[in-house]
Amino acid sequence: MILNRNRESFSGLLGSGLFIMMVCLCHPFSDKKVREHLSAKDGKKCGMSEVYSTCSGGNKPQCCTCLETLKDMVKTHNKTVAA
């Protein structure tokens, strides 16, 4: 497979399940785990703290580097959920 070097192609591949992106390294969990949790919400909105706690096994953020990525994922999920 040939990868284009632009961001859109790469982010499309991330969402396709071909690659796994680690969201948090302090309490390791991947984007796959976040997406699984969000899809299990059955069309309900959720908050970042709930998603982080569930995906990290009940831990709280340590270095907080992951929070921007997590925020974007939760925000995207919440936009797709009916109000």
Q: What does each of the 83 residues of the chain score in pLDDT, given as a tens digit?
A: 444 454 455 555 555 667 889 999 999 999 999 999 999 998 899 999 999 999 999 999 999 999 999 999 999 999 998 76
Quote the CA–CA distance of 9 and 6 in Å, as a whole number. 6
pLDDT of residue 60: 95
pTM for the model: 0.76
Is the CB of residue 66 less than 8 Å from the CB of residue 23?
yes
